[in-house]
Amino acid sequence: MNMALLLRNFADAGREGDGERLLRRIKFFMLHFFQDGSGSTQYCLEALYRMFQVNTLLTPREAQRMV
C-alpha cells in the first residue's frame, strides 16, 4: 500500500509540475530500485544520473529548467 501511495504522489507531482517534489520521490525510488535487485538496476542508474545532472553536471540555469 505504501508503494501505491508513493506512486500516486509521484504522478500527482508530475501533473502539478512540482519539480522539487519529483526529485524527492526519485531519491526514494532510487533506494527502492537498488534494494529490489538486478531487475531494477537500470532504473536505479537512471535515477542516479538524473540526480547527478541536477546537482552537479548542469549549470544552475539548466538545472532549474530540468526541475
pLDDT of residue 1: 77
Which pLDDT tens digits describe the chain residue by residue (67 residues)? 778 888 898 889 888 888 888 888 888 888 888 887 777 888 888 888 989 999 899 888 988 888 8
What letter represents residue 13's amino acid? A
The count of other CB atoms within 10 Å of the CB of residue 8 is: 10
Name the residue with cell 520521490: 25
Q: What is the pTM of this model?
A: 0.73
Domain count, the chain: 1
Q: Which long-range contacts (CB under 8 A, 24 or more apart) does 46-52 make?
A: 50/23, 50/26, 51/23, 51/26, 51/27
- Supply the range of the domain harboring residue 22: 2-66
